[in-house]
Structure 1
């Protein structure tokens, strides 16, 4: 990320980092030292509803375990001055009792360009010495759309959602092109045919299906089909639904989806909104993997959270979310790619069948 030299610049990056505009929130931005004087690298960013401040000790433990060297807090709210003072007192109590070393805290009504950012507390400047607190004082929020964290969203034709609820709504099961009964029928078909295909004595069917997925993703990209278009296409939905009906077929197509992550993300989101059960869960998990490939972790983590709300034991999503929380995106992508290639090899899927030549 480009160097940030003011609280207004850091605040402007928060919607891009979170994937939505935070409201009525306390946001913690943690940094680790780079070894250079007064130079820090952004680490975990954690948002908490103001009404959920009882969870502050959990946030403190998470940040302590991550081993960050510097923690900033932003209180984003339009509540009364008296209520804001109570929030600040609560945060100061964490500092005074050594529960969380918050080095500075700012208050702003909204994360919008030009809104004021006012210092609530921080270290006093040392006279005669270069000190970050001399410049990280009161400020205004920099242009949000120009923030570096917004780049990956804009590159994929997206903007931050208006709020957290809107982020999670996009992962709900709802397809307006089919009735709930029709969606259930599509789900039953996908589940049945997924297992019959995997258990068929002719393994060529699996390899052929992998090839079909690669061609399907190319077609989606060439025709610039949207998620709405794909949710209305029964044949396309069933093609992807069948391969998401069990872990083996799901793992086989991971390599194909990562090679064409943008169209794959669209069809996987369409599938997640249409199917139920393991097909939906696997669709959301692979959508998260594609989002990471597209440099969109702010889309990946809510998708994985949606899976674990419905099935806390979905193994792939548990592993993916743990890696995401640790910020190990590149390591995660390498691991799932290697796993997919191993499964493909076990099913005799070569570069010429369902896998582009390297």
Structure 2
């Protein structure tokens, strides 16, 4: 080998070794809400910061709100699977009937009002029933939000009959099934569309969490906010925080271990806790705006829960028709919730 050729080869090897040692990885994660809302503030950004710190800067996680990298909230799973983005936040319910077993956790009065508890249950349930559904991505966390609240223009809901004729936004099939059974006209839509639908009168209100209320300007767009009595949520919503499988598997072992250390049950509970923190802030902001904050009586809550039980039975029948054991899925979701109640 000539001296010049040897020098060039040595330089190339040196550059490769240096690059191999640094192994710097940039991961682009996308979501569809304001960066000021609870999950990005109290989970996504701290999670990204933890990954960077624990990797000594060798992994950088860039967060893109409002679907800035393209696509829409309903097709987020496919964007991650196909490698259009490295990772992101997915609501499986935004693609109705694609992930039917996940709906068990979203049924009326299934979870407690603690997002952290519900998220621990979600992780357990996911390990048994949903990993096959999500085999095309790498699941980092599976979580739930806090209690779903009815937000509407005009006075607060006081009785079951007050739902009659209201056009209400719902985020999932179980939620819209419940709204319809209560006498409302349900309109399914992703959260980014909700404020415009309210402002244009397409809907009279909708169901969503306290924590999302400020970023959606529900203090201005609605007048009242109604929760049910008791410890169980009117409804809940299931999420996954996931990344592209090839990107995850292509990372060096030591960097992949850092992702793993910030995954699973701890990350799921962390994400749920973020919603709990945001719920307290959101509720206070709605009250400070002068909006009506209401809780249904125990008697009316019991009437609504009875309707919810009918919805659950209808869901079980639907699942049976699709070849699933609907009652077993409900029982499994209930068991996961019961096993993760914090004393």
TM-score (norm 1): 0.24
Higher relative contact order, structure no. (Cα contacts within 8 Å, ≥ 6 residues apart):
2
Greater percentage in strand: 2
TM-score (norm 2): 0.24
